[in-house]
Amino acid sequence: MDGTTARAADDLPPVGLGTELADTLAAGGDGLRLDLQPICSAGTLAPIGYEALLRWEHPERGPLGAAEILGAATAVGRDVALEAWILVAAFRLRAGWKAGGPYLAVNVSAAGISRGHAAPMIRAALETTGVDPRGLSIELPEKAVASHLAAARDLCAALRQLGITVALDDFGGELGSARVLRDIPFGTVKIDPMLTAGVDLPGAGANRPRAAVTAVVDMIHALGATAVAEAVETPEQMRELRVAGCDALQGWLLGRPGIGPT
């Protein structure tokens, strides 16, 4: 999940921005980059992984975020090309890290699931970069998984055969969550901030949020997955999410997006 903010492109029509993006992709993606946000062990707070977050350093408008970039790409029919660029760029990054180091998490779009192009693109990126798939995690948005359950199940099976860990992103933000976890054996489940909100409230106001998060973490563990809490921004949140049993934490408190390990 991309929990950071970047300058919006609301004042530039998506098609206009998309045309610029198409030219950028045709030129090899100059100006596009991946910022890496750490995912830290809840116990030691040491990074165990990084999530790749798409940015575009626009020559006139400054840094644009993933939502604006994907919207612009979709407006001109270049969303598949953009996803292919992201996968290759991310896999190349991970291929340059030390063996056995932190994993790199990469997001797949809803269209990549519903249209079925995610799996072949990921295979192509693996072949292009030669990266060890065991150092990768592919994150699937819960809403898209719930809406396209059969396609998501097939994608997850294909990725597991390749040796890639599959993560369910934004868990708890949509209806159908329990069925998704029941039907697909995800290795990691990232808990949506909507579900963890309120765990740091004072007094009795936090009792129900804490109980809910603890129950969700217990369910995730019972299904054999790792529980990651997203958007951790205060020491109080961190403390309560550790108490609830989360395995890992991600958010600005633990680290803002940057260059990652060297």
Among candidate residues 170, 106, 115, the one with its CA nearest the CA of residue 138: 106
The predicted pLDDT at position 134 comes to 96
The predicted pLDDT at position 42 comes to 98
User: What pTM did the predictor assign?
Assistant: 0.92
Tens place of pLDDT per residue across the chain (262 aa): 554 333 333 444 567 899 999 999 999 999 999 999 999 999 999 999 999 999 999 988 888 999 999 999 999 999 999 999 999 999 999 999 988 899 999 999 999 999 999 999 999 999 999 999 999 999 999 999 999 999 999 999 999 999 999 999 999 877 667 889 999 999 999 999 999 999 999 999 999 999 999 999 999 999 999 999 999 999 999 999 999 999 999 999 999 999 888 6
The predicted pLDDT at position 173 comes to 78
The C-alpha atoms of residue 105 and residue 33 are separated, in whole angstroms, by 15
Among candidate residues 149, 229, 224, the one with its CA nearest the CA of residue 186: 224
**Dihedral (CA of 106, 65, 174, 43) sign:** positive
Among candidate residues 168, 229, 227, 167, the one with its CA nearest the CA of residue 200: 229
The predicted pLDDT at position 10 comes to 43
The predicted pLDDT at position 8 comes to 39
Dig out the tokens for 100 from the structure: 């056995």
CATH-assigned architecture of domain 14-250: Alpha-Beta Barrel (3.20)
Q: What spatial distance separates the first Cα and last Cα of the chain, rounded to whole Å?
A: 23
**For 31, which DSSP code?**
T
